[in-house]
Structure 1
């Protein structure tokens, strides 16, 4: 089986556990293939954690979940030097924290204080942790998926814009259509019935055979193939023009000039390039076209454009501004 087939198989397996969130599954897989970290936001109960766990369960990877709370310390995330004594000898050894995994779920990242957020973001950016003067490298497959919900802001520590910029994409999860919600009810009911049946058999019921996990090799092979996806000079300029439009909105329209306070950083250009190539590869193409860039632009710009007070007063969202930019910037 080719790397492309194995990645599509990963998507299909995730879709069995997550109903009605096809775009979210696509973005999680794209983040994995683009070797970037994701910020996943949505109201409570919209399967943010379940989606990330579904990826980890079907991938041959070590999974770690960190529940962020106001009393968390940086060492609770990164690990610390611990004094060990045995056989008459004593020494300090590094005990790795939960950040040392392949897929790290940082649940409700905005509930932890700034020091803990900074420790996590440093590990995300540098792919290493330094404790007591010693540097500890992350594994080759390493991705952080942080979640937060847009309500209940009391007792939270919102991520500064400069730190949010380090996330490759900001994925937004919305309510599913009613038809999909019916399927969610049936799915969860079936899982509960299966679990109760196993308990009734005192755990002696034969375990359902699970398919073999997707190997990490498939991810690395996919990344190598994505690196060969062709991006024309015109597409490079188109991506740069989209980002530049967020910085000089007056050149496009007076409305945009009123709505945008701060434009996107150069990380946005790099994210557009990485994610659009992954999007094209997943679609089975070896080249990037404008539709790839347009599809991924909202997730790349969502956390990188700072709206003015006027835009917020008019009820405008970052997605509204991005849609206007995509409409006004000329296609290559």
Structure 2
């Protein structure tokens, strides 16, 4: 399968959200969606507890690591370490607008330094055999998105980048918070479509404000891939539609409950290794949006799963509060 195909649907890297438990759970819903780690800085990879920071389960494949940094040599070494650990792709963050990231001279501020980003990509591609990709914005602050995105794209493609993922918004580094930068700058999907039309041989994915797999299918008429973020996290049941709708293959489960049953062995294994229950179930709070009993399910986990020693029995008790199709269970709790 080519990069044009493997990136048809991916789940965005999201700080404090897409940790290894989240990714393992998402894999129970889709075999094909490409999963991304939270952004990891080169400093954390080179000098931190990399065995903990970069840990992932074999079930997560295909899984990509997202790196943050701006020093070509450090990025090359970090990319090599990640590739050696078994990641399927290394992605460079050129889109995060947080103050901390700007102070480290990486993330969205690098949109202003396309030549440096090109040097970073060239160093990374020389260091690893796995694909090296770039996630960026359409521009920052007062940049003209037509010129800014083309300059960045041309620099990284010339340096050997295998694919581009474009968040179809500017990042305003002056005047907007990171949270506001996710919603306030207007979406410009057409700008990303034009980039794809100009670079037909380069896999281009679109990101930003895409709330369903059905809308992702519409974007795929113009680009090679779609990256969804909060919709996949807050309403993970949507991922059950990825494999049949976008890849023409059966999903790993036909219902949310069936997917959970497939995920239970992972949870049991992690609990036996000393992991806390809430570290896993916090990623599953949005599973039953709109289903009778969902509120009781969330409340039970929020109050019981956080307690020391909470086990699978707490999770199964919460599941019993949700009404399954064709079942009368949990009607009282849903009232």
- Give the TM-score, by structure 2 length: 0.26
Q: Which has the larger radius of gyration?
A: 1
Higher relative contact order (CA 8 A, sep 6+): 1
